[in-house]
Structure formats: C-alpha cells, structure tokens
Amino acid sequence: MGPVCDKLGPRYGMATLLLLFAPATLCLGLTTDGSNFLVCRMFIGITLATFVTCQYWASIMFTGKVVGLANATAGGWGNLGGGITQFLMPLLFAAVNGSGLIFRSWRYAMLIPGTLQILAGTAVLYLGQDTPDGQYAEVKKTGQLEDKDPMQIFKLGVLNYRMWILVVLYAFCFGIELTMNEIAATYFFDHFGMNLKVAGAIASSFGLMNLFARSVGGGLSDWSSQKFGMRGRLWVLFILLALEGLMCAAMGSQHKSLGGTIAFMILFSIFVQASEGATYGVVPFTSCRAMGIIAGFVGAGGNAGASINLTIWFKSEKYETYEGIQNMGILIMCMSLLTFFIHFPMWGGMLFGPSEGAKEEDYFLAEFTKDEIAEGKDQKVSKWIENSRFERPPSTRDIGEPTKGMP
C-alpha cells in the first residue's frame, strides 16, 4: 500500500481496500467448507493494509511536533476495533442465537461488520481529505507534490537500514499484540478453566487498552522530542519495549494466579501498545520520499512478528502456553536493544550525538539524484526539511514554529 499512497494518495488507498474486500466479510457467512472459509479470511486479511494508509495519512496531515501522538491515536483506535470486536461478536452471536436461528446465528452475525465496512469505506471516499492543502491530485497539479517513480522510491526504502530495525522492533510490539489476540482467550479457557464468554471478555481487555495506551506512547515520543530531539524519541522507544518484555515475562510467571495473570496482562498490554505508538513516532522521520514504502514495511513487520512468535512458542507441544509467554517476554527485551543501532547523522542516536556538520538537507536531499535536483524536485520537500529540524537537540534549534503538515 505504500506505493499506492505515494501515487494516488491515502484516501483512495483506504477506501479501495475497505470497499473492495467488504464482500469477503459478508460472504464469510455463506461458506460451506474450510476452503471457502480460508479464502474469505485471506481477502479479509488484505484489508489490514489499511493500517499503512492510516499511518501515512496521519504523517502528512500533522506537524512533526505532534505526529507521534497523531499516528498513535489513529493507529491505536484502529486496533481498538479488534478488542471491541472480540468483545461484541460473541454477544451478537448469542443475541442472534437466542432468536431461534441456532445453526445459522454466526452466519447472520457476520452481516454486521461487513455492512459497517461498506459504510466506513464510503465515508472515507466522500468525506476524507488527503493533505492539509487539499486532495492529492489537486495538490499535485499545483506542483507541491512530486510524481514519484515507484521503483526508485522502493529502492530508497529498502536500502535504509533504519527501516529494517524498525521492522523488527514493530514485529515485537504490534506482532506481540496480534499474538496475544490469538492465544489469550484460549489460555484463560484452557489453563484456568473459565467459560468461553468470560475468557473472551477478559482477553478482549488486552485490545481495549488501545483506547489510550498507544496514544500515550506517541505522546511520550513527542514530549521527549521537544526535550531532547530524536535521541529522546529513541530512548522512549527502547524503554517502552524493554518494559513490554518484562511485563510479558511476568504475566507468564503468574500462571498459578488468575488475578496476577490478569494484572500483568493489563500492564503488558499498555506497554505493548505504547511501544507501537513510539515506533511510529520515529517512522515518519526515517525518509521523506519513501515514507509510504517504509510505513508499509514496518506495518508488515507486525504481521510477520505475529506469525513468527505463534510458530515458535505456541504451535508445538514443546512449551506450555505460560512458558511460551515467558520466553516471548525475554526475547522482546533482547530485541529492544536493536534501538541502540538507530542513528541519524544530523540528530544522533541513543548513545552518540549528531555527526559534526551534518544537516537535515544532507540527509533528505541525498534521496534525490543530481538530475532531479537540477529539475528542482528537491524544492518540493522544503516543508518536510523545515519541520524535521525540530528533531535536533534543543540547544541547536534556531528556527521558528513548524509549518502545517509534512507532505
């Protein structure tokens, strides 16, 4: 979805995903065998790419001083839908089941999310606005946005080592959230002998923390940036990831106590989602031209992380579920150390300050060829560069207020 956002804008990207794959959600209730069910699930899974359009959209709509909070709140409330769905769908199923449609109740229940998906896609298409200055196509005509070469932008993204570190870090925060969404209800049902409704309600609290937790991470990232620049964002990301891993391991260690397990699961959930918000406090500054590609890869890292952790810790009989949770927490703490390797020449990293004489222009204009600079394409990112100067250490800031938006 990154190249689609770069080419057509986030509004068309998000609306297309929602409307194109809404029939898959509606048709889930019509499936008659496992193969049909898996095909529908596959197409429904493609709509997860709306997360990329969401983060891209927030990144270009808000100034760098609040982009962490904006990204975190938008993404967190999106993830909140998963927790709400996990809580509401069993209740909806029970309500339909109580109406006498015992063998078809789950099929009728699937009509509700499919219909809501269509309404959301229509609202995005007709009510949304791509950038602070107007719709994407209109702004392109004015010359404020460049018409990017997809292959060139792809190369810029994949050759930026910072992107790959962020991919791994996101795999161990959002990927962990997806993992817990998969195993939590079953864990409470099997390990503590709870009935399925209660187990599902408790498990849903993990996702419901998105109501505020992801925004807390993004807000902390923005606050630390104002105090310490990009180095503050990186320290916040590391600390939140390390605490996430610690709470995860602690949850597994409480396998003999239901109360202890629930308490540490809530703390674990808060730090998981705060880490997600802090990650996307860094992502928008990694690249100017390839932001869509990088946002897409980092988002995909979360899904990959879920697959990896589920396979390693929970798909075999080698570990009990609580042992898998403990081991997963230790691995998260180890992976958080990768944050130390992120360094921006003009802003520095966690342990080392900026390189002498390095400027934002040197970093971001390196994404342009000499011919593109001669054509004046580099002038279209001047607002981006102006905003990004606020990631300097405070003592070296000599600029006014940032301009609106980060195109």
pLDDT of residue 173: 96
Which residue segment(s) compose the domain that 179 sits in?
Answer: 2-349
6-20 mean pLDDT: 89
266: in domain: yes
- Choice among 125-129, 281-285, 387-391 with the minimum mean pLDDT: 387-391
- Residue range 382-406, pLDDT digits in tens: 777 888 888 988 877 765 444 444 4
pLDDT band for 217, please (50, 70, 90 cuts).
very high
User: What's 165's domain CATH number?
Assistant: 1.20.1250.20
Q: What confidence score (pLDDT) does residue 368 get?
A: 85
Share of the chain above pLDDT 70, in %: 94
Number of domains the chain contains: 1
In a domain, 373, yes or no: no
Q: Can you give the pTM of this predicted structure?
A: 0.85
Q: How far apart are CA 234 and CA 239, in angstroms?
A: 9
Q: Look at residue 395 and tell me if it is in a domain.
A: no
| 271-296 average pLDDT score | 92
Q: For residue 368, tell me if it sits in a domain.
A: no
Q: pLDDT digits over 331-342, tens only?
A: 999 999 999 999
pLDDT for residue 143: 66
Look at residue 130 and tell me whether its pLDDT is greater than 50: yes
In tens, the pLDDT along 134-176 reads 887 787 777 666 667 778 888 999 999 999 999 999 999 999 9
Q: Is 402 part of a structural domain of the chain?
A: no
Q: What is the mean pLDDT of the chain?
A: 87
Q: What is the pLDDT of residue 201?
A: 84
